[in-house]
Chains A and B, each alone.
Chain A
Amino acid sequence: MISREQFREIMDNGIWHQNSSLIQILGLCPLLAVTTTLVNGVMLSLATIIVMAVANVAVATLRNLIPHEIRIPVFILIVAALVTVVDLVFNAYFHELYLVLGIFIPLIVTNCIVLARVEAFANKNPPLQSLLDGVFTGVGLLWTLALLGGLRELIGAGTLFSGIDMVFPALHGLQLLPADYPGLLLAILPPGAFILLGCLIAWKNWVEARAVARRPDSGADHALPVALADGA
């Protein structure tokens, strides 16, 4: 089974310390393209969480059977099968949202967060830990994309939760700012996503730096996490 400390570590890493968007800077393509509204960001994150959790369990279960040399193609096959399922589910139950998210649901296959978790964690750990890792990495992605999407939507259009009727037909988006708010179009466009992501990363580093400064015992040896980019 799993110890309390192990659970905590997996949770902390997934949600905060190794946050896929703010620290690992992985999966930038959906991050930049989809987070024009909060609902889009959250729904794509949910799709990614499902894929990641199930893929992690599947790979962890099969990890002793998969030949090391061809593990990457096998991982991709597993992930692709799951994404196909999610893709069809979205198409059937949230058709309007499916049209909005478009290519980015199939592209979860090539999302490096998914492949990174499968390769770096599930391939070396038992199924339960891998499940938790997949879920919590996804939760880290979820709150980042929700925050980014919410900020961009609010600054760019003055609304929040617009398009929620695509998920829950009974609900409507909120018009938070006055209706004649002109909207800073830049926030909706891709450059705005880059600028706001930069601000979020700066905010996280600031929070960490303050936490380090406040800790009385170990100040110097706990270096700041450095964001290393790869893209995708």
Chain B
Amino acid sequence: MEFISTPPFLLLERSSVRRVMLQVLLALLPGIAAYVWLIGPAIVVQLAIATLAAVLGEALMLALRRKPLALFLSDGSAIVSAWLIALSFPPLAPWWLIVVGTLLAIVVAKHLYGGLGQNPFNPAMVAFSACIVSFPALMSQWPALGLQLSFGEQFQLIAGLLPRIDAMSGATPLDALKTALKLGDGQVDVPTLLATQDVFGHFAGRGWEWVAGGYLLGGLWMWQRKLITWHAPFGFLAGLSLLAAALWAWNPQQFADPLFHLLSGGAMLGAFFIVTDPVSGCTTPRGKLIFGLLAGVLAYIIRVFGGFPDGVAFAVLLMNLCVPLIDMYSQPPIFGLKDAP
């Protein structure tokens, strides 16, 4: 059954939202593969929980809003949000945490603002910010390095059947560096920390650098397939690394190198899958570049000088607020005119 009558010139690309979303999910796979290699199958369980919660939440809201269920459920946008949430939450978090996060994203951040294409804020980042503000302890418990848990144990942890033990959890590499610097009070320096502490690998966090590499791979594939343009990711990575490089050049003892920041936390996931969100991000090419650049700068400031483990989510939400302004001032000139209107 057809719900929407499309103009003839659009007939070639039918249900293109679904095609785009499917390809975004495909692009996430290299990162997920590295994640599974690093943590184990727990992340797959979280992805499944998030997907289920997102689909149920989407169906509920569509039914409440009396929208066609099949059409909007099959576009896959809810699943993309769900996967981004699952990938940004701690992999051994209890199941209800990811359910609360996903429902916040779908019900509050997406449908209360008008559904697909209407949300001013990135739903996945709303979920992450709301949960890290609400449950700071649970959201900071990342699996400790070298923690060997069987699939059964991981599953029981997620289901809440096993008690959580402090020794199982550790900080993210970003958090570990920040805490060590704060505790060291000027006595410790970054190069020594990076070289001596187990949690750090060749470039950034041990293992996490390969997950970030997986996201980079998927992102470059999306760029090659013309799903995203280079502006927003390049701007984000440039903003993050330029500020990191400036501070690192000024004081390499207290600030980590740009590569560490590029491969840590949510930088790569954010650069290719979050700031490229066509709904909550800018629409003009120059706007995308500015949006990405400022988001990168803000992410660095928040993750290095702020109180939370990572700054990507807050940076993206803050920049989402500025999107109408940036779009207004970055209109491309009308064909035939010299200056922008």
Contact = CB atoms under 8 A, between A and B. Distances in A.
B139 to A, nearest CB: 11
A185 B108 contact: no
B138 A186 contact: no
Nearest to A155: B134
A189 B135 contact: no
Interface string B44-75: 00000000000000000000000000000000
A181 to B, nearest CB: 10
B135 A182 contact: yes
B133 interface: yes
B134 A184 contact: yes
A186 B134 contact: yes
Interface string B134-145: 111010000000
A185 B129 CA distance: 12
B108 A182 contact: no
B108 A184 contact: no
Nearest to B97: A182
A182 B138 contact: yes
Interface string A182-198: 11111101010001000
A203 to B, nearest CB: 12
Nearest to A187: B134
A183 B100 CA distance: 12
Nearest to B108: A195
B130 interface: yes
Nearest to A185: B134
Contacts of B108: 195
Contacts of A191: 133
Contacts of A182: 135, 138
Q: Interface majority SS on A: helix, strand, loop or mixed?
A: helix
Contacts of A184: 100, 134-135
Contacts of B138: 182
B105 to A, nearest CB: 13
Contacts of A187: 134
Interface residues of A, number: 9
Interface in B102-119: 108
Nearest to A198: B112
Contacts of B135: 182, 184-185
Interface in B76-131: 100, 108, 130
A182 B138 CA distance: 10
Contacts of B136: 185
Contacts of A183: 134
Interface string A47-72: 00000000000000000000000000
Nearest to B131: A186
A187 B100 CA distance: 13
B141 to A, nearest CB: 13
Interface in B247-277: none
A189 B132 CA distance: 13
Contacts of B133: 185-186, 189, 191
B118 to A, nearest CB: 15
Interface in A140-168: none
A195 B129 CA distance: 14
Contacts of A189: 133
Contacts of B134: 183-187
Contacts of A186: 130, 133-134
A186 B135 CA distance: 9
Nearest to B160: A180
Nearest to A182: B135
A221 to B, nearest CB: 26
B243 to A, nearest CB: 28
With a 10 A CB-CB cut-off, give which of B130, B134, B136 has the most chain A CB atoms.
Answer: B134
Contacts of B130: 186
Contacts of A185: 133-136
With a 10 A CB-CB cut-off, give which of A183, A184, A191 has the most chain B CB atoms.
Answer: A184
Interface in B300-318: none
A187 B108 CA distance: 13
A187 B134 CA distance: 8
Nearest to B136: A185
A89 to B, nearest CB: 37
B330 to A, nearest CB: 29
Nearest to B135: A182
A180 to B, nearest CB: 10
A186 B104 CA distance: 12
17 contacts: A182-B135, A182-B138, A183-B134, A184-B100, A184-B134, A184-B135, A185-B133, A185-B134, A185-B135, A185-B136, A186-B130, A186-B133, A186-B134, A187-B134, A189-B133, A191-B133, A195-B108
Interface of B: 100, 108, 130, 133-136, 138
Given A182-B135, A189-B133, 8 more contacts: A182-B138, A183-B134, A184-B134, A185-B134, A186-B130, A187-B134, A191-B133, A195-B108
Top 6 nearest A-B pairs (CB, nearest first) are A185-B134, A186-B134, A184-B134, A186-B130, A186-B133, A182-B135
